[in-house]
Amino acid sequence: MEKKNIWIVAIVVVVMVVLCCCAVLVASGATYAILKPQETSQNMNEPVESTFSPTREPVTLPTIDLDPDGEEQDNPSPTQENQSNIPGEILAQMEKIEREVEGLRGLPRANDLDRKTLTTEELRQRVMEDFFVDYTEEDVRQDALILNLFGLIDRDYDLYELFVELYSEQIAGFYDDETKEMVVVQGDKFAGPERMTYAHEYTHALQDSQYNLNDGLKLDDDTCELDSEYCAAVTALVEGDASFTETQWFLEHSSLKDKQEVLKYYQEYASPIFDNTPAFLQEDLIFPYVKGLAFVTQLYEEGGYAAIDAAYLNPPVSTEQIMHPERYPDDQPIKIELDDFTSLLGAGWEEIDRNTMGEWYTYLILGKPLSSDWALEEEMALSAAEGWGGDQYLVYHHFENDEDVLIFLSEWDTQPDADEFWLAFSEYAIKRWGNTTQRTDTKLSWELESETVIISRQTDQVLWIIAPNLDLAEELATQFPEFH
C-alpha cells in the first residue's frame, strides 16, 4: 500500500492569518500542487459550505506593463528556450519571482526549466497520464483491502474514482523533476494565486537542482514501496521547506493586489470532494504541511536556511522525527523484520504488502478510523502513538478464497510507552470489534463470523493478528513465542 507517497501537502500562510494549502502528488517523477484552503475555525472532517468553485481557462494575452506595485516589469531574457509559448509579460513575472525565491532560499538558479501554463482540463489529462496509467484496478482493490484491514475505509471504497475527482478538483500546478517542467494552471491572467503557486513550485526546482529529489534523496516509487516512512519524512522536509519559503516570499515580495486576489480566491474556493474524503486521508493530505512546516520552522530557528540545507544531506527517516523535531536526527527507528509466513499459510496465499506504519499512521488508526464510533479522543490517540519506536506489518491475500491475513508487530521506546499504547489500542479494538471472546492482561481475542482478531503484548512489544479463522490466527500467534 503506497499510503504515504500518493499525496504530499503543503500549506502557506497568507495575509491576516488566512491559510491555504497546496497538496502535491509525487508520481512518475512529478510533483503536483493542489490548492486547498485550511479551515482554521472548523473541523477539517466536516463539509464546508461554499457557493463557488473557480475553474481556470486557457491563458490569454493580458496587458501587463506594470507589476502589481506599479513598478516597471523586468524585460524577459532575449533568448528564452523551452517556454512553451508563455506570453512575454507573464514570463517576466515568472523570472522576477524566481530571482526573489533564489534570494530568499539561498540556492543557485535552477537551469533548463520548461515553464508551461495549462488549462484545468489539460492538467487533469496530464495527471491521468502520469499517475493513473500505472494505477491499475488491481492496485485499487489491494489498497482498499489493506486500508480496510487497518480500519480506515470500507473494503469496496472506490479509491480510483476518489483520486480522479480529488485531483481534478484540487490541482493547481506542478514541477516535474524528470522533465524539469514548471506548470501552473492558468486563468485569464497571472494573478496572486498563480504567482504564489509559482513561488512554491520554483522552490521545488531549486531543491531538485541542488539535491536531486529522485536520485539523490531517493524520493521515488521503488523506495517508497519499500519504506513509506522514509518517503513520508523526506516529503515533509521538501514540502515544509517549499511552504516556508513560499510564506517568506508572500510576506516579503507579494503586492497588496496579490494579497487581495489570494484572499478573494480562497473566500470563493469550494472543495466538496476533499471535504467528503475519509477522515484519515484528509489528515494525511495535510500532514506534510502541518508537521513538515513546523519541522522546517524549527530547523530555521536553530540555524537558518543552513540548517534546512543540512537536513537534505542527513534527511529525516521517520514521521516520528517530523512530528517531534527535537528527536531529529538522533532518535532512529527500531528496525523490525518479520519472517515470511507464506509457507505456513499454504497454497494460494500471497504476500501483497510489507511495510512500516510509523507513528503518524498509528495515530490515524486510533484517531481517524472509518467509523467515528471507533475513534479515541484526539489527545489520547496522539499520546498513545507518541512512544512509537518501530514496527513492520505484513498483509497476505488468498485470491481464490478472497481471504486476508494481517500481522503487525510494533515496538515501543519504553515499557511505559508500550503500556500506554496497549491500553489505548485495547480500547480502540473493543470499540471496533465489540466484546472479546477471550481476555487476559496480555491478550485479547475476537472470534467473529468472517475473521479472528488477536492482540497481545509482552514487555515493550505489541502484536496484532487478523486471520479468516481461529485456527489460522492461533497458528500465526505461535510463531511469536515471546508472546506466550
Query: What are the cell numbers at 332?
Result: 532512529
Q: What is the pLDDT of residue 84?
A: 58
Q: What is the pLDDT of residues 421-461, one digit of tens each?
A: 999 999 999 999 999 999 999 999 999 999 999 999 999 99
Q: What is the pLDDT of residue 164?
A: 84
Return d(Cα 35, Cα 30) in angstroms, integer.
Answer: 16
Q: What is the pLDDT of residue 40?
A: 30
DSSP E strand boundaries for 87-243: 114-118, 171-176, 181-185
Angle at 122 between CA 120 and CA 128, to 5 degrees: 105
3-class DSSP state of 19: strand
State how far the alpha carbon of 144 is from the alpha carbons of 156, 287, 310, 435, in Å.
Answer: 7, 20, 38, 26
- 193: number of CA atoms within 13 Å, CB side? 30
Task: Give the bridge partners for 404, in sequence order.
Answer: 397
Q: What is the pLDDT of residue 30?
A: 43
3-class DSSP state of 60: coil
Q: What is the pLDDT of residues 11-52, one digit of tens each?
A: 222 222 223 334 333 333 444 443 333 333 333 333 222 222
Could you tell me if 368 and 281 are in contact, meaning their C-beta atoms sit under 8 angstroms apart?
no
Q: How confident is the model at residue 76 (pLDDT cuts 50, 70, 90)?
A: very low
Residue pointed to by grid coordinates 489570494: 262
Checking DSSP bridges between strand 443-447 and strand 452-458, what pairing results, if any?
Answer: antiparallel
**Whether residue 9 has pLDDT greater than 70:** no
Average pLDDT, the chain: 84
Q: What is the pLDDT of residue 135?
A: 86
Mean pLDDT over residues 379-396, rounded?
A: 99
Q: What is the pLDDT of residues 463-483, one digit of tens each?
A: 999 999 999 999 999 999 999
Q: What is the pLDDT of residue 126?
A: 84
Q: What is the pLDDT of residues 232-274, one digit of tens each?
A: 999 999 999 999 999 999 999 999 999 999 999 889 988 899 9
Question: What residue ranges define each of the domains in the chain, with the CATH number in brackets?
Answer: 8-325 (no CATH), 342-483 (3.40.1000.70)
Peptide bond into 329 cis (omega under 30): yes
